[in-house]
Amino acid sequence: MSNTAGPRSKVLLVDDDPAILEVLTMRLASEGYGVATANSGEEALQIVAADPPDAVVSDLRMAKVSGIDLLEAVHKRWPAVPVIILTAHGDIASAVQAIRSGAFDFLAKPYDGMKLVQRVRAALRGHSAATPAERMAEEAPFVAASPAMCEVWKRVRKLARVDSTVLITGATGTGKEVVARALHDYSGRRLGPFRAINCGAIPANLLESELFGHERGAFTGAHTANLGLFRAAHGGTLLLDEIGDAPLETQVKLLRVLQEREVMPVGGVEPVAVDVRVIAATHQDL
């Protein structure tokens, strides 16, 4: 282990490649960060247990204790310590896994020193604000200066970590889609697609086709098959805006989709499994 003195935040770098450790250490040290290094996940856990850093930057693929293993251990015992994962170029699947396991962010090879500094700075930003309200106002994707909006942002952050269906209510124009987008962007699905549909703006006879898809020839004019928004949003989030305006028959089918995690395309004979987080929004009192 080596340390580079810094007046403020300390970052733990973990990689089994000494050359990468040296380059990243020099880059962070030049920005004034204190840097500790570890050559393995095992050594990193020992360092964190003895003196928890302000942030951890770890390679994904290491022997014995991998970056994901390290991430999960840190996230469980020291949840306030943000972890940034270093991944191979194009390894999106691993990046998604890291985010879902609690990583603050990821950085793909070849590593850009400035991007690393930006990621670390963003991860540490929550530690530097003077008060919780200031932290929330700084991080929120919408204006959150008032106590009420800070409370909204607090709930968004909390719900984003839970992969469950959410209903957002409020008058038209109050920013329900902005909140839905924030729930997606701060969730483990943020690397997946975000799709949205206004259920009140689609004719009733076409809404199910838009949502669940249809097979070729399922109805007059269906010259080609359509995946539908549920399948288009696979691995991500689907916003059903103005869900209260959808026909009751469609709402019943939506309930079944939420229960079974599968859709039946219009004109189809076999259901199709989907992995989608559904966020519904309405101005009505349901």
Ordered mean pLDDT values, 10 residues apiece, the chain (286 residues): 55 93 93 94 92 92 89 87 81 73 81 85 64 44 59 79 90 85 86 92 89 86 87 95 93 94 91 95 86
What is the spatial distance between Cα 258 and Cα 281, in angstroms, rounded to a whole number? 15
Residue 205: what pLDDT? 81
In this prediction, residue 22 carries a pLDDT of 93
pTM score over 0.75: no
pLDDT at 30: 92
φ and ψ of 145, to 5 deg: -85, -30
Residue among 279, 100, 282 nearest 182 (CA): 279
Residues 140 and 142: their CA atoms lie apart, in Å, by: 5
Alpha helices (H) in the chain, listed in sequence order: 18-30, 41-50, 67-77, 92-100, 113-128, 132-139, 147-160, 176-185, 204-212, 229-232, 248-260
- Given this model, what pLDDT does residue 141 score? 56
Predicted confidence at residue 237, as pLDDT, reads: 95
Q: What's the longest Cα–Cα distance across the chain?
A: 71
At 223 the pLDDT is 80
Helix (H) or strand (E) holding 237: strand 237-241
H helices, E strands: number in the chain: 11, 12
DSSP 112: P
pLDDT recorded at residue 4: 42
Q: What was the pLDDT predicted at 180?
A: 92
Domains of the chain in sequence order: 3-128 (3.40.50.2300), 161-282 (3.40.50.300)
Is 10 in contact with 33 (CB distance < 8 Å)?
A: yes
pLDDT at 246: 93
